[in-house]
Chain A
Amino acid sequence: MALGQRRYQRKSFVIPKLQITSMMDMFTIILIFLLFSFSDNPEKLHIEKGMMLPKSTSQIDCNKSITVSLSPKSLKVGNHHIADVSQGVIQGFDRQHPEKSNLYQHLMSIRHNFETKDEQDNSSIVIFCDQRMPYQTIHQVVKTSGMAGFPNFQFAVLKK
């Protein structure tokens, strides 16, 4: 009798339902956020660790062709290490003779490649520079680039 009662009281097994409403909410929020930050031309930039780009009101897009990166520790053209930078001074750079510098030699080789490929060269150099760098150092890079045949520049900045 007692056994019969117990069997009567046992409830039938119900498959537990997974509550996915909250997960759907989360996914919807993420989806909307990602849709707003969607870019049809995502930039793959390698910015030096610790580099702080200045903020600007400029609305012009960055046309990435030749990148020069000037961080407090190093000077690079693309991924190619050119020189070390220490306390705002490019090591091994002679201000009187910029044409002897590694930067000039490297930019000239790029320019030579442009000429041999017979490409229409309207490209300007994009300079990624730390906001704490003094003008003296930037001017060395700018002047050398101008001498190597790249007088037009773009300063990369973060949107304000």
Chain B
Amino acid sequence: MRRLGRNRKDNDTDTDIDMVPIMNMFLVLIPFLLSSASFFDINAIHTSVPVRQTNVDQNKSAASTEATVIPVIEMKADRIELYVMSEQISAKDLTKWDLSFTKQNDKFPLEDIQHYLQDMKNIYPKSDTILVIPDNDILYETIIQTMDLARNATQNQLFPNVVLSEKI
């Protein structure tokens, strides 16, 4: 009986896990991950400036059976004017798309503009280019917001090719 008790006492020794190798591993991993961590996620918006159209491009667009349009967003200090350019649609049909959105509470009604662009995309699904013409005083942040809404709707892609220009 006494011997049994002594044996149990001997087996109850501390069984601590040796944490030193794990700590060593952490000390190696953490500096490595710190050096390769990215705390700022920087993305990009692709854009371009208008370039002279070549003859090949003109033939290509003429050969296309489905009509395409280029919506134009003119950003003024107090409003946004929208209209459409196309060589395949009559002037009468193009003027239907002329619209102006005035600033409300010092903000552009971006959601309304997005609905307008969504309608246009539904009718002319082949269209993929949009022209943005901001006034000189329009801030870069506002331009980026407008480009965002021109490229993407909540459900699908609208006009992924955004071209920045100035009023001629």
User: Which residues from chain A contact B33 at a C-beta distance below 8 Å?
Assistant: 31, 34-35, 38
A42 to B: closest C-beta gap in Å: 5
B13 to A: closest C-beta gap in Å: 14
**A156 located at the interface, meaning its Cβ lies under 8 Å from any Cβ of chain B in the complex:** yes
A-B contact pairs, 8 of them (CB 8 A): A37-B39, A39-B36, A60-B44, A132-B139, A135-B135, A135-B136, A152-B47, A158-B43
Partner of B38, one of A37, A124, A138, A154: A37
The 10 tightest CB contacts between A and B, nearest first, are A34-B33, A136-B136, A154-B44, A131-B141, A39-B38, A159-B41, A62-B44, A146-B49, A135-B134, A54-B144
User: Which residues from chain B contact A155 at a C-beta distance below 8 Å?
Assistant: 44-45, 47, 144, 147
**B57 located at the interface, meaning its Cβ lies under 8 Å from any Cβ of chain A in the complex:** no
- Establish whether residues B44 and A135, one from each chain, have CB atoms under 8 Å apart when the complex forms: no
**A57 located at the interface, meaning its Cβ lies under 8 Å from any Cβ of chain B in the complex:** yes
Chain A interfacial positions (CB closer than 8 Å to B) = 17, 20, 23-24, 27, 30-31, 34-35, 37-40, 42-43, 45, 53-63, 124, 126, 129-136, 138-139, 142-143, 146, 151-159
User: Which residues from chain B contact A38 at a C-beta distance below 8 Å?
Assistant: 33, 36-37
- Establish whether residues B48 and A153, one from each chain, have CB atoms under 8 Å apart when the complex forms: yes
**B26 located at the interface, meaning its Cβ lies under 8 Å from any Cβ of chain A in the complex:** yes
- Establish whether residues A59 and B139, one from each chain, have CB atoms under 8 Å apart when the complex forms: no
B61 to A: closest C-beta gap in Å: 19
- Establish whether residues A20 and B140, one from each chain, have CB atoms under 8 Å apart when the complex forms: no
- Number of contacts between A and B (CB, 8 Å)? 142
- Establish whether residues B166 and A39, one from each chain, have CB atoms under 8 Å apart when the complex forms: no
A contact patch SS:
mixed
Known contacts A134-B136, A142-B164; A58 and B51 CB within 8 A of each other? no
Give the B interface residue count (CB, 8 A).
Answer: 42
Known contacts A27-B30, A58-B148; A42 and B47 CB within 8 A of each other? no
User: Which residues from chain B contact A135 at a C-beta distance below 8 Å?
Assistant: 134-140, 143
**B63 located at the interface, meaning its Cβ lies under 8 Å from any Cβ of chain A in the complex:** no
- Establish whether residues B37 and A136, one from each chain, have CB atoms under 8 Å apart when the complex forms: no
Given contacts A62-B44, A143-B166, 15 further A-B contacts (CB under 8 A): A17-B16, A27-B30, A31-B29, A43-B38, A45-B40, A54-B144, A61-B43, A132-B139, A132-B141, A135-B137, A146-B49, A153-B46, A155-B147, A157-B43, A157-B44
- Establish whether residues B47 and A57, one from each chain, have CB atoms under 8 Å apart when the complex forms: no
A130 to B: closest C-beta gap in Å: 7
User: Which residues from chain A contact B38 at a C-beta distance below 8 Å?
Assistant: 37, 39, 42-43
